[in-house]
Structure 1
Amino acid sequence: MCGIVGAVAKSNIVPALLEGLRRLEYRGYDSAGIALNNGGLHRLRTTGRVAELSKLADEQHFSGETGIAHTRWATHGAPSERNAHPHFSGERPNVAVVHNGIIENHEALRQHLQSAGFAFTSDTDTEVIAHLISFHLRKNPDLFEAVCRSTGELVGAYAIAVMEEARPERIVVCRNGAPLLLGLGESGTYAASDASALLQVTRRMIYLEDGDVAELYSDSYSVVNCQDGARMKVARAVQESELSNESVEMGPYAHFMQKEIFEQPGVVANTLEMVLNAQSISPRLFGSEAENIFNNTDSILILACGTSYHAGLVARYWLETVAGLPCNVEIASEYRYRNPAVGANTLVVGISQSGETADTLAALGYARSLGHRYSLGICNVAESALVRQTDLRFLTRAGPEIGVASTKAFTTQLAALMLLTMTLAKLRGRLTGEKEREMIIALRHLPVALQLALQVEPQVKVWAGRFAKKSHALFLGRGMHYPIAMEGALKLKEISYIHAEAYAAGELKHGPLALVDKDMPVVAIAPNDTLLEKLKSNLQEVRARGGELYVFADADSRIQESEGLHVIRLAEHAGSLSPILHTIPLQLLAYHVALQKGTDVDKPRNLAKSVTVE
Structure 2
Amino acid sequence: MCGIVGIVSDKPVADRIADALKRLEYRGYDSAGIATFDQGKMDRRRAPGKLTNLKARMEESPLAGNIGIGHTRWATHGAPTEENAHPHMTDKVAVVHNGIIENFRELKDELAIDGYAPISETDTEMVALLVTREMDRGAAPFDAAAAVIKRLDGAFALAMMFKGEENLIIGARQGAPLAVGHGDGEMILGSDAIALAPFTNKVTYLEEGDWVAITKSDMRVFDREGNPVNRPVSTANTGAESVSKGNHRHFMSKEIYEQPDTISHTLSNYVNFAERKVQLPQELPFDFAKLSRLTISSCGGSYYAAMIAKYWFEKYARLPVEVDIASEFRYREPPMEKDGLALFVSQSGETADTLAALRYCVSQDQHIASIVNVAESTIARESDVVFPTLCGPEICVASTKATTAQQTVLATLAIAAGKQRGILSDAQEAEMVDALAKLPGAMSKALASEPKIASLDKSLSKAKDVFYLGRGALYPVALEGALKFKEITYIHAEGYAAGELKHGPIALIDEKVPVVVVAPSDALLEKTLSNMHEVAARGGNIILITDEAGAKQAGPDINEIILMPEVHELVQPIVATVPVQLLAYHTAVFMGTDVDQPRNLAKSVTVE
With the shorter chain as reference, the TM-score category is: 0.5 to 0.7
Return the match for 1:566 from 542, 560, 568.
560
One-letter amino acid of the counterpart of residue 446, structure 2: A
Return the match for 1:429 from 406, 410, 422.
422
Contact preservation (8 Å) 2:272, 2:279: no
Give 1:284 shift: 4.2
Determine the C-alpha separation between the residues in 2 that align with 1:247 and 1:434. 41
Determine the C-alpha separation between the residues in 1 that align with 2:392 and 2:255. 9
1:250 counterpart = 2:251? no
Return the match for 1:302 from 296, 303, 306.
296
What is the TM-score of this pair, normalised by structure 1?
A: 0.59
Match of 1:450 in 2: 443
Mapping of residues 269-280 of structure 1, within 5 Å: 269-274=264-269, 275-280=271-276
Determine the C-alpha separation between the residues in 2 that align with 1:564 and 1:520. 14
Mapping of residues 461-500 of structure 1, within 5 Å: 461-500=454-493
Q: 1:479 and 1:559, CA in 2 relative to 1: closer, same or farther beyond 3 A?
A: same
Q: 1:563 and 1:297, CA in 2 relative to 1: closer, same or farther beyond 3 A?
A: closer
Match of 2:571 in 1: 577
Give 1:573 shift: 3.0
How many residues get paired? 369
Return the match for 1:407 from 393, 400, 403.
400
Match of 1:165 in 2: none
Contact preservation (8 Å) 2:298, 2:344: yes
RMSD: 1.6
Match of 2:529 in 1: 536
Match of 2:193 in 1: none
Q: 1:510 and 1:289, CA in 2 relative to 1: closer, same or farther beyond 3 A?
A: closer
Contact preservation (8 Å) 2:350, 2:379: yes
1:351 counterpart = 2:345? yes
Determine the C-alpha separation between the residues in 2 that align with 1:345 and 1:324. 19
Give 1:297 shift: 2.2
Determine the C-alpha separation between the residues in 1 that align with 2:580 and 2:314. 26
Give 1:567 shift: 1.2
SS in 1 for 2:463: coil
Determine the C-alpha separation between the residues in 2 that align with 1:596 and 1:386. 37
Determine the C-alpha separation between the residues in 2 that align with 1:563 and 1:421. 37
Contact preservation (8 Å) 2:349, 2:374: yes
Mapping of residues 353-392 of structure 1, within 5 Å: 353-369=347-363, 371-392=364-385
For residues 100-134 of structure 1, the C-alpha deviation after alignment (integer angstroms, 9 at most, x for no partner) is xxxxxxxxxxxxxxxxxxxxxxxxxxxxxxxxxxx
Determine the C-alpha separation between the residues in 1 that align with 2:588 and 2:556. 27
Give 1:549 shift: 0.6
Give 1:456 shift: 0.2
Q: If you compute each CA radius of gyration, which structure gives the higher value, 1 or 2?
A: 1
Contact preservation (8 Å) 2:511, 2:541: yes
Match of 1:418 in 2: 411
Match of 2:597 in 1: 603
Match of 1:123 in 2: none
Give 1:282 shift: 5.3
Contact preservation (8 Å) 1:528, 1:573: no
Contact preservation (8 Å) 1:248, 1:400: no
Contact preservation (8 Å) 1:553, 1:559: no
Determine the C-alpha separation between the residues in 2 that align with 1:375 and 1:282. 21
Determine the C-alpha separation between the residues in 2 that align with 1:477 and 1:564. 16
Give 1:561 shift: 6.2
* Structure 1: 5+ residue stretches without partners: 1-199, 201-243
Dislocated runs of 4+, deviation >6 Å: none
Contact preservation (8 Å) 1:552, 1:568: yes
For residues 84-112 of structure 1, the C-alpha deviation after alignment (integer angstroms, 9 at most, x for no partner) is xxxxxxxxxxxxxxxxxxxxxxxxxxxxx
Q: 1:595 and 1:432, CA in 2 relative to 1: closer, same or farther beyond 3 A?
A: same
Match of 1:317 in 2: 311
For residues 345-390 of structure 1, the C-alpha deviation after alignment (integer angstroms, 9 at most, x for no partner) is 4210000000000000000101121x23211110001111111111
One-letter amino acid of the counterpart of residue 322, structure 1: Y
Mapping of residues 34-53 of structure 1, within 5 Å: none
Determine the C-alpha separation between the residues in 1 that align with 2:385 and 2:590. 43
Give 1:340 shift: 1.0
Match of 1:42 in 2: none
Determine the C-alpha separation between the residues in 1 that align with 2:277 and 2:342. 21
Match of 1:265 in 2: 260
Determine the C-alpha separation between the residues in 1 that align with 2:581 and 2:404. 11
Contact preservation (8 Å) 1:293, 1:374: no
Match of 2:206 in 1: none
Q: 1:293 and 1:560, CA in 2 relative to 1: closer, same or farther beyond 3 A?
A: closer
One-letter amino acid of the counterpart of residue 246, structure 2: G
Determine the C-alpha separation between the residues in 2 that align with 1:360 and 1:396. 17
Determine the C-alpha separation between the residues in 2 that align with 1:407 and 1:284. 24
One-letter amino acid of the counterpart of residue 275, structure 2: Q
Determine the C-alpha separation between the residues in 2 that align with 1:335 and 1:547. 36
**Once structures 1 and 2 are overlaid, which stretch shifts more, 446-455 or 551-560?**
551-560
Determine the C-alpha separation between the residues in 2 that align with 1:549 and 1:407. 24
Determine the C-alpha separation between the residues in 1 that align with 2:484 and 2:526. 27
Match of 1:337 in 2: 331
Q: Percent identity?
A: 48
Determine the C-alpha separation between the residues in 2 that align with 1:576 and 1:325. 16
Contact preservation (8 Å) 2:262, 2:392: yes
Match of 1:196 in 2: none
Match of 2:389 in 1: 396
Return the match for 2:607 from 580, 589, 613.
613
For residues 398-445 of structure 1, the C-alpha deviation after alignment (integer angstroms, 9 at most, x for no partner) is 100000000000000000001110111111111211111111111111
Contact preservation (8 Å) 1:247, 1:400: yes
Determine the C-alpha separation between the residues in 2 that align with 1:505 and 1:379. 31
